[in-house]
């Protein structure tokens, strides 16, 4: 009964994970119950030994999210999911994982905004040289070229930076998941 409950709960909690991996993971916990009972342990004792299924599921999900994000070459959506999985492991991670991550995201967004603004202002320079009075065609078009160039450079640089941030975040999460204390102490 307790075995069924435990396994059922874990199975449901692992719903975000594709079925083949989920089945593979579940095999360990099923096997643990089976061998423990063969060795004369009660199902209750075996369940206590394993700990809280919710905690196990969180830890497994974190590992899965991190690997998935790494496979997807650090796409922001996948990295963010991994970060959230880490945060769900405890309050501690809210401060040491989510905080810095949001700060880094904000920096990236502001760089992208700068890149966008530079590109837009080159359009403004062209507009001014055509319809305005301040700039000649030559001044306008060279100013536009310079601004556009800067905008593209900033954009490319920021893109590289985003990649680096994603990689760093994943490495940090891997390191973190090795260190995270589990609810069931012994």
Partner 1 sequence: MNVQFKKGVLELCVLALTAWEDRYGYELAVSISHKFEVAVGSVYPLLNRLTLEGYFSTYLRESPEGPPRKYYKLTPLGHTHLMELTVEWRSFSQAVDQIIKEGVER
Interface ranges with partner 1 (CB under 8 A): 21, 24-25, 27-29, 31-32, 34-36, 38, 49-51, 56, 59-60, 63-64, 67, 174, 177-182, 184-186
Minimum CB–partner distance for residue 86 and partner 1 (Å): 13
How far apart are the C-alpha atoms of 120 and 106, rounded to whole Å? 21
If the CB atoms of residues 134 and 185 are measured against partner 1, the closer one turns out to be: 185
Q: How many CB atoms lie within 10 A of CB 152?
A: 14
How far apart are the C-alpha atoms of 158 and 161, rounded to whole Å? 5
Minimum CB–partner distance for residue 25 and partner 1 (Å): 5
Minimum CB–partner distance for residue 41 and partner 1 (Å): 11
Sign of CA dihedral 145, 148, 150, 153: negative
Q: What tokens does 186 get?
A: 């012994």
If the CB atoms of residues 34 and 163 are measured against partner 1, the closer one turns out to be: 34
How far apart are the C-alpha atoms of 128 and 140, rounded to whole Å? 7
Residues 6+ apart with CB under 8 A from 117: 151
If the CB atoms of residues 51 and 100 are measured against partner 1, the closer one turns out to be: 51
If the CB atoms of residues 29 and 101 are measured against partner 1, the closer one turns out to be: 29
If the CB atoms of residues 80 and 177 are measured against partner 1, the closer one turns out to be: 177
Minimum CB–partner distance for residue 44 and partner 1 (Å): 14
CB 170 within 8 A of CB 65: no
Minimum CB–partner distance for residue 84 and partner 1 (Å): 17
CA atoms within 13 A on the CB side of 34: 6
Sign of CA dihedral 65, 81, 74, 171: negative
């Amino acid at each position: 009964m307790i075995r069924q409950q435990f396994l059922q709960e874990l199975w449901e909690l692992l719903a975000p994970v594709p079925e083949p991996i989920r089945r593979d993971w579940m095999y360990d916990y099923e096997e643990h119950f089976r061998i423990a009972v063969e060795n004369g342990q009660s199902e209750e004792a075996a369940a206590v030994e394993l700990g809280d299924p919710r905690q196990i599921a969180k830890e497994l999900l974190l590992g899965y999210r991190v690997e998935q994000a790494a496979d997807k070459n650090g796409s922001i959506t996948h990295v963010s999911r991994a970060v959230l999985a880490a945060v769900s492991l405890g309050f501690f991670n809210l401060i040491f994982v989510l905080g810095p991550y949001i700060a880094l995201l904000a920096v990236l967004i502001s760089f992208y905004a700068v890149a966008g603004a530079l590109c837009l202002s080159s359009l403004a320079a062209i507009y001014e040289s055509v319809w305005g009075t301040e700039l000649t065609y030559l001044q306008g078009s060279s100013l536009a070229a310079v601004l556009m160039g800067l905008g593209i450079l900033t954009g490319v640089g920021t893109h590289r930076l985003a990649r680096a941030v994603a990689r760093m975040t994943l490495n940090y999460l891997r390191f973190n998941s090795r260190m995270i204390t589990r609810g069931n102490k012994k």
